[in-house]
Amino acid sequence: MMLSTFQTGDRRASSMTTDSTGPTWSGDDRLAYRLLVAEDNAHDVRLLKLALSDWASSAELLVADTFTKALAIASLHPVDLLLLDLGLPDSNGLQTLRTALKHLPDVPIVVMTGHDDETTARQVLQEGAQDFLSKRDLTTRGGRRLVTRSLRHAVERHQILRELREANRLRSMFVATASHELRTPLAIIQDYAGLLSDGTAGPLAGLQEECVGAIMRNCRRLGDLVGDLLDVAKMESGTISLRLESTSVDALLAQCHSDFLQRCRDKGQRLDLQIEPELPDIHCDRGRMMQVIVNLLANAHRFTPEGGAISLSARREQDDLRIDVTDSGVGISTEEQGRIFDAFVQVDRRSGAGYEGTGLGLFIAQRIILMHGGTINVESTPGSGSRFRITLPASVRCSRLSSLRAALVTLSGRAPGLVTERTSIVWLSPVTRGPNSDASETRIPLGEIEATATTLFRRHDSVFGSDADCLVACLLQGSEDDAMGFLRRLARAFAGRSADIGYQVCTVDGRAPDTSATPPAPLNLTPLSHLRNPR
């Protein structure tokens, strides 16, 4: 094995680290890390050494002239970065990178090739390389500076990412703990107040009844607040998941309506319910969808004066289902409409009942609707009322998800019951549509979706174990390139998992995804059948 180690600078011995805790930077901004170079051209290696010395940096360089040697070295010594030539004697092209990524999932990789064309650069980055460099850069002083900086940033980025993941994990743990710690005492207070108010603990005199009533009311408020805060925390850490099931729109809205009817009557408000006949069922998380509608109704109730009118309606609009909550209340100014869906925004409306809400309701509502692949928006005229509109792609969503479920059953080779019991279906939609069908699309950043998926899969594994025969399905809708890149990274993150992760790619324009571009043997990542998108 050819293994040459070289050092630049005279003070580097004291600043170099070789342990696995990652690179350290000495005070004068010198690099102090171990760099593995897979490169068979001695001239290029010389230029690379020059590049690193140019920058007054210090690094330990391990050089391998074949791919096999590079992998062997990396398995023996912890390295902080791999600089990979795609034209090695024993491995060529993109496959080299894929194998390297699979074997060294925790090492940032920068690719360097002789031919710098844009297509290769794009492919390489999509596969998961940190950067793409041309050997031509090594021939000029400015180019060499660029190379060094790229390597340095690759290592730094990797380190930051690792720290972020850890921070995210700690936050999720904190939220889980806080939920337990807050809910137990709350349950106790509520229970004892209940024992007082229902007379179990003896009859109450007039004023006592009022006191206990206030305790009960505020327990509920605190419970709502704890619930909302947990929802937001889960949304931000990406650990929220939906339990999708076929749901009758009719029944869902009728229940919301009857839950609210008395409250509205008490305030002299009319609450109308208008549901278009024969609406198709939607696939949604029933509890979450109800949470959204109840939140909209509660807002309408609060901000509509006595004698006003509120209506809850649903109708079909081409492929979409529209649910409107309309009120004749005080309305929202244009300026406030822009930020009403942000977290902790309490729009100041005169007739609103002070601090009753948490300021999180609409933020949560919007996130829930987005997770369902829909949109929510508001139209309002100050002084005459507001209309909140939820748009859900009704029929499309329904058929896709039932096909997915069917595919999952086939994949698991088990009874349908198993799939509902032990399968998390993760609906990840990178694209959400605007209120009109040709309006511009809102893209949820792929990074955010990936973080969500990764966290969900991790949690699933931590409960069931990575060898459990459960399936996790992830339905992607978006551009094919994005989806494939995502799947590759997902497969890498879960390499070695013995149970399946099923996935489904839907393209927005209805084309069938190019299955030949499916990542090669990402262990147990199993493709389901392609589902046609009618759009």
Backbone dihedral angles phi then psi of residue 502, each to the nearest 5 degrees: -90, 150
**Separation CA 500–CA 432 (nearest Å):** 28
**Contact letters for another protein, residues 444-483 (x by CB under 8 A):** ---------------xx-xx--------------------
Segment 197 to 216, residues that bind another protein, using CB under 8 A: 200-202
Measured at the CA of 238, the angle between CA 130 and CA 282, to 5 degrees, comes to 120
Taking Cα atoms as reference points, which of 93, 94, 36 lies closest to residue 65? Answer: 36
Q: Which amino acid is at 511?
A: R
Q: Rounded to the nearest whole angstrom, what is the least distance from the CB of residue 247 to another protein in the complex? A: 17
Q: Looking at beta carbons only, is 91 or 424 nearer to another protein?
A: 424
Q: Rounded to the nearest whole angstrom, what is the least distance from the CB of residue 214 to another protein in the complex? A: 17
**Separation CA 39–CA 53 (nearest Å):** 18
Q: Looking at beta carbons only, is 69 or 460 nearer to another protein?
A: 460
173 binds another protein (CB under 8 A): no
Q: How many CB atoms lie within 10 A of CB 363?
A: 20
Q: Which of 1, 161, 188, 353 binds another protein (CB under 8 A)?
A: 188
Answer for the pair 425, 401: CB distance below 8 angstroms, yes or no: yes
Q: Rounded to the nearest whole angstrom, what is the least distance from the CB of residue 182 to another protein in the complex? A: 8
Segment 216 to 245, residues that bind another protein, using CB under 8 A: 219, 223, 239, 241, 243
Q: Which of 90, 266, 356, 421 binds another protein (CB under 8 A)?
A: 421
439 binds another protein (CB under 8 A): no
Q: How many CB atoms lie within 10 A of CB 75?
A: 11
**Contact letters for another protein, residues 482-521 (x by CB under 8 A):** ----------------------------------------
Coil vs helix vs strand at 174: helix
Sign of CA dihedral 220, 226, 232, 237: negative
Contacts of 365 (CB under 8 A, 6+ apart): 291, 292, 295, 296, 341, 376
413 binds another protein (CB under 8 A): no
Segment 238 to 277, residues that bind another protein, using CB under 8 A: 239, 241, 243
Q: Rounded to the nearest whole angstrom, what is the least distance from the CB of residue 294 to another protein in the complex? A: 16
Site stretch for another protein (CB under 8 A), options 120-128, 374-382, 420-428, 441-449: 420-428
Region of 225 please: left (phi>0), alpha (psi -120 to 50) or beta: alpha
Q: Which of 3, 160, 167, 195 binds another protein (CB under 8 A)?
A: 195
**Separation CA 485–CA 487 (nearest Å):** 5
Q: Looking at beta carbons only, is 418 or 517 nearer to another protein?
A: 418
417 binds another protein (CB under 8 A): no
Backbone dihedral angles phi then psi of residue 418, each to the nearest 5 degrees: -65, -40
Backbone dihedral angles phi then psi of residue 389, each to the nearest 5 degrees: -125, 125
187 binds another protein (CB under 8 A): yes
Contacts of 353 (CB under 8 A, 6+ apart): 302
Q: How many residues bind another protein (CB under 8 A)?
A: 29
Q: Footprint of another protein on this chain (CB under 8 A)?
A: 176, 179-181, 183-184, 186-188, 190-192, 194-195, 200-202, 219, 223, 239, 241, 243, 421-422, 424, 459-460, 462-463
